[in-house]
Amino acid sequence: MPIYRLDASQTLATDIETAWRFFSDPSNLGVITPPEMEFQITGEPPTAIRPGLVITYRLRPLPLLPLRVSWATEITQVDQPHMFVDDQIAGPYALWHHEHRFLEVDGGILATDQVHWSLPLDPISAPIAELAVIPQLRRIFQFRAETLARAFPSPNDGQPSLRIDPL
């Protein structure tokens, strides 16, 4: 099962408490997800994250297909206001481990994401990763970066970076 690593970072012109309030509020997931994915939290949306919190939602992982999937993630670690981790417990990936980190830097907060992910059904899924999943993850994190740049405009070099590599 090939495992991929996604690294994204962006400097946001805000303070760490404001960044934490935004990123730790599950209702903001819909704000930073491309609208064509039709992201929707199912059940009662939680107001804040905590270890052990399970968030369930539905979305269209590949907007060109009419398929909607259910997804559940569990918040496994929280170090307020510096980081939290969510792990998929049900959904389209064989592995999804997402670390969110926030570091105070000159000009604001450096927000970083590191995701380790893999698809089920290896080796059949290998072409799907290259042809569909990696481009879709690039689209998601590009949309996210653009949305965050509007919400927290940075006068400095707030240009986001994104890498997706197999391990």
Residue 153: the pLDDT is 83
pLDDT confidence of residue 49: 93
CATH number of the domain where residue 145 is located: 3.30.530.20
SS3 assignment, position 63: coil
What tens-digit pLDDT sequence spans the chain (167 residues)? 799 999 999 999 999 999 999 999 999 999 999 999 999 999 887 888 999 999 999 999 887 778 899 999 999 999 999 999 999 999 999 999 999 999 999 989 999 999 999 999 988 888 989 999 999 999 999 999 999 999 998 766 567 899 999 98
Could you give the number of structural domains in the chain? 1
**R_g (Cα) of the chain, nearest Å:** 16
- pTM across the whole model: 0.94
Nearest partner of 45 among 35, 34, 57, judged by Cα: 57
> Tokens for 52?
């052990």
26 lies in which domain range?
Answer: 4-166
- pLDDT at residue 158, rounded to an integer: 60
Region label for 61, one of left (φ > 0), alpha (ψ between -120 and 50) or beta (otherwise) = alpha
Q: Which pLDDT belongs to residue 155? A: 65
Instruction: Find out whether the peptide bond into 123 is cis, omega within 30 degrees of 0.
Output: yes
**10 Å Cβ neighbour count for 6?**
19
